[in-house]
Amino acid sequence: MVALLTLGHTVTAQSDSDTTTRKTMDIQKEIIVNKPIAEVWDLLGNRYGEGYKWARGLYHSEAQGSPVIEGAMCSNRSCETSFGHLNEEIRVFKPNEQLSYEVVEGFPGFIKKGVNNWYLTKVSETETRVSMRFEGETQGFAGVIMGPMMKMNLGKGLEGALFDFKHYVETGKPSPEKVKDQEKYLKKQKQAA
C-alpha cells in the first residue's frame, strides 16, 4: 500500500467584509484489490448506499434521493459515523472509473469543504488499483488549530477504509477490524440506552 499525505500552505483570502485564514488538506491513498474492476465497482458505485457493511467508523448508511447523475443509484447518502451524522452528495459517477462525493452536512464548522474521490484502474484481469483522494478545506482560527489533527485522523481513517474495502470485495465479509469496531459501537449504544 502506498500512502502520501500533504497539507497545503496557508492562504489568506480577502472578501469585502473580512479576511479568513484557510488551509487545504490533500490526503491520497491507494491499494491493489485482487478482483476484476467490475466487481470492485459493483461495491463502490452500484452499492454506494451499503458502505456501512464494510467500512469501520460507518455504522449506518442509506442511499437517498433520485439520481441526478446518469447511472447513479441515488443522489446522496446519509451516514451515521464515528464523527456523528453526515450527509453526502454524489459529484462524479463514472462506472468502473470514478466515484466522487462531497460531505454537505455534518462536518464541524471549521471544515469548509470535504470531497472524497475514488478512482479505479485496471491492473490486470484479476487486479484493480483503488486510489482515494480526499480534498478538504478548513477555515477560521479553529481550522488553523484543528486542521493538523483532522488531517492525521482522516489519514488513518481513509487508510482503514481502503483496507476494509479490499477485504470486503475479496472475501464478501467485513474485515476483522470492522467487526471489532461494530461490536464496540453496539456495546456503547447498549450502555447508553
CATH code of residue 141: 3.30.530.20
φ/ψ of residue 39, rounded to 5 = -70, -35
Quote the pTM value.
0.85
The residue range of the domain holding 163 is 2-192
List the alpha helices (DSSP H) in the chain: 37-41, 140-171, 176-192
- Number of domains into which the chain is organized: 1
pLDDT recorded at residue 63:
96
- The answer, yes or no, to whether residue 7 has pLDDT greater than 50, is no
Q: Are 116 and 132 in contact (CB under 8 A)?
A: yes
For 112-161, the pLDDT digits (tens) are 899 999 999 999 999 999 999 999 888 888 778 787 777 888 888 889 99
Q: What is the mean pLDDT of the chain?
A: 87
**pLDDT for res 20:** 53
Q: Which pLDDT tens digit goes with each residue over 14-51?
A: 333 334 566 888 999 999 999 999 999 999 999 999 99
For the stretch 80-109, pLDDT in tens is 998 899 999 999 999 999 999 999 998 888
What was the pLDDT predicted at 19? 43
Res 12 pLDDT > 60:
no
How do 58-64 and 111-124 pair as beta strands?
unpaired
Q: What is the rounded CA–CA span in Å between residue 93 and residue 82?
A: 26
Query: Over 70: is that where the pLDDT of 65 sits?
Result: yes
